[in-house]
Amino acid sequence: MIDVMVIGAGSAGLVTAKQLAASGKSVALVENDTIGGTCVSYGCVPKKLWHRVSALGGQMDAANDYGWSVSESSFDWEAMQQAIRGYVQKLNARHYQKCMDAGVTVIRGQASFVSPTTICINDTHYTAGHIVVCVGSTAKKEPIPGVDYCDTSYDFFSWSKQPKSVAIWGGGYIAVELASILQACGSRVHIICRQSQVLGGFDADLRAFIMDRYREKGIHIHTNSTIDRVDRIDEDTHRVVMGSQSIRVNRVIQAIGRRPNTDALLCESAGIMRDANGAIIVNDQYATSQPTVSALGDCIGGLQLTPVAIAQARDWFHRVWCKGNFPVDFSMVPTAVFSHPEIGTVGLTEDAAREQYADVSTKTLTFTPLTAVLSAQPEPVFIKVIMSGSDLRVRGLHIVADSASEIIQSLAVAIQKGITKADLDKTMALHPSIMEELVTIY
């Protein structure tokens, strides 16, 4: 009998399996797709590479404003897809080898529960003392007429040809990131958003600012809209119908959210409870309704971010499995949106802060950074600080700027430690820089 079986070789599953193996347990890791999960194969990694690739186009255009003579350029979409896919495959192989080196047994196939201690994979039953479910989530598709003509973000990374026009249904991270990549590479892009603004859940002022930036760059945003159906006109053309309005595009992407990837597990066969969206229900120790089964990562709902899944795996191993301690603060999670321009945030939005605290104050700045003043199309910076209390403790920070993700990761340490406006005021500014404005907001 196996000591622990981990189902899912994504971010949470890999960390869990390797930690258990290092502690001397016999561990089997089950995966029916790539080793590395969505983040490595269909999400964070290839998306960040595409973000960089697409940014270079705008940088070449801007170079002409700075004295460089940049001749007419061309872009090889297929070559970049192959290069990115090749790098991802190397990562998949590296993660697999690390499992081998750690003594983890990797089993390929779809797992389904037979009982709270038994799993069926490829018609073979495996029994384990404990089972940890880390199957993540998958892109949702609305079953509208013409759904078969719609892609998801997963499909984007296998497109062999760049479309001239794309409609993206959704307004979250994935929608605006793919829209920015495609627009920067030269495609005509439509975002079709059910809400009045994109990026629901982000600060309202940031959402208004970023909507203007996307539109300024040429992205067509249809707010308070939804897709009724998609009609195929020919092999490369589709009609997207939104009420009385319609548009013609080459490709359609549904980016309307994600769903826990739990259906094929047959959780009910083992008495494992799920919620209405398919998320496995767990307590504060990641225990399911069966004491021999735990669950971690995107498949339990909540914040669906790679660092959160990894932290949950470490928390479960140290605090639950080893009865030790793993200090982690899930209330202060920095996040980034790799669009053009880039977004970085940590802490509370203004609306959330006002719900929690009575005495909230904010400082907001928008300005053109020195590095952009010679550009014909300068990219402005947005900074918003949210504070509360007589000591003006910083409760949230929201930035739109080049390298916003790098900035917010560094500042997240200070904000998590409880810095105040006075701490910002007494910090010496570094001039000239974008973030000197943060420590000189008087």
Which residues participate in catalysis according to the annotation?
Answer: 431
> CA neighbours within 13 Å on the CB side: how many for 62?
14
Contact 108, 115 (CB under 8 A): no
Closest of 258, 49, 250 to residue 157, by C-alpha: 49
Contact 167, 249 (CB under 8 A): yes
Closest of 228, 172, 161, 237 to residue 200, by C-alpha: 172
DSSP 294-358: EE-GGGG-S---HHHHHHHHHHIIIIIISS------TTS--EEE-SSS-EEEEE--HHHHHHH-S
Phi-psi region of 291 (alpha: psi -120 to 50; beta: other; left: phi over 0): alpha
Q: What are phi and psi of 281, to 5 degrees?
A: -85, 125
Is 190 in a helix, a strand, or coil? strand
Contacts of 183 (CB under 8 A, 6+ apart): 189, 217, 218, 219, 340
CA dist 310 and 218 (Å) reads 37
Q: Which pair of tokens denotes residue 302?
A: 């909540």
The 8 Å CB, 24+ separation contacts for 368-376 are 369/401, 369/402, 369/434, 370/432, 371/402, 374/65, 374/66, 375/62, 375/65, 375/66, 376/65
